Copies of this chain bind each other. A is one copy, B any other.
Amino acid sequence: MSNDEIKLDFERTDRLGFGEAILCEQKSTRQISAILDQAETASHSLLLTRLSTQKLSGLPANHRARIDFDETSGTAFFRYLPHATTAADVAVVAAGTSDAPAAREALRTLEFNGVGSTAIFDVGVAGLWRLMDRIDEIKRHTVVIAVAGMDAALPSVLGGLVPGVLIAVPTSAGYGMARDGETALAACLASCAPGVTVCNIDNGYGAACAALRVLNAIQKTTS
């Protein structure tokens, strides 16, 4: 693979307000390593998503030394410089333990972009009181990211209770008719709770970017 195959988008932060991220799922270790070479040369930090433990261990040692890796979400910060984090503007609310990978991908993406967040896990609607115990806390956030698989009833219930911006992330949790997340996705889209928007299955990264767009819009208005 020549370097001609890779064209990193280092100006994305200026243009869109959040940094470049590399989806590693269908890239070879060789391709990922070449991307990190470019970032290193440009003294640029990168967010890597869907990086498996196996691919991580296949990277050169000098790259691995500059990586902060989270196993549950498969996210890695490359050349990450910790910066001031804002107040917790975003709540990431997950229905079950099996939804943790997507939920943590959202949390990590927010952290990489310097945005504070609150994690509220295991509050699926089959045990409604768990959700009700924390609903006032959830409502205090500007943006709520609702992460749920199987029947994904959580975003529908939240949609009737929460006035803020509400973004649903359907997950591939479940089996049989959960259909690798397609049922959760369709349920979120068909929901009669108004004004809930939806991301791709397991796309915690995309939900966090959508939240960043909202926070940027607020900042632009108030500044």
**Chain A residues within 8 Å of B, Cβ to Cβ:** 1, 4-7, 9, 15-18, 21, 23, 25-28, 31, 35, 50, 72, 94, 96-98, 100, 119, 121-128, 130, 142-143, 150-153, 156-157, 159-167, 172-179, 181-203, 205-207, 209-210, 212-214, 216-218, 220-222
**B residues in contact with A186, CB < 8 Å:** 151, 177-179, 182-183, 186-187
On chain B, the residues within 8 Å of A214 by CB distance are 165, 214, 217
Q: Which of B15, B142, B213 contacts A166 (CB 8 A)?
A: B213
Q: Which residue of B lies closest to A130 (CB)?
A: B7
Chain B nearest Cβ from A17, distance in angstroms: 5
Which residues on the B side are within 8 Å of A23 (C-beta)? 98, 192
Contacts of A157 in B (CB 8 A): 125-126, 128, 153, 157
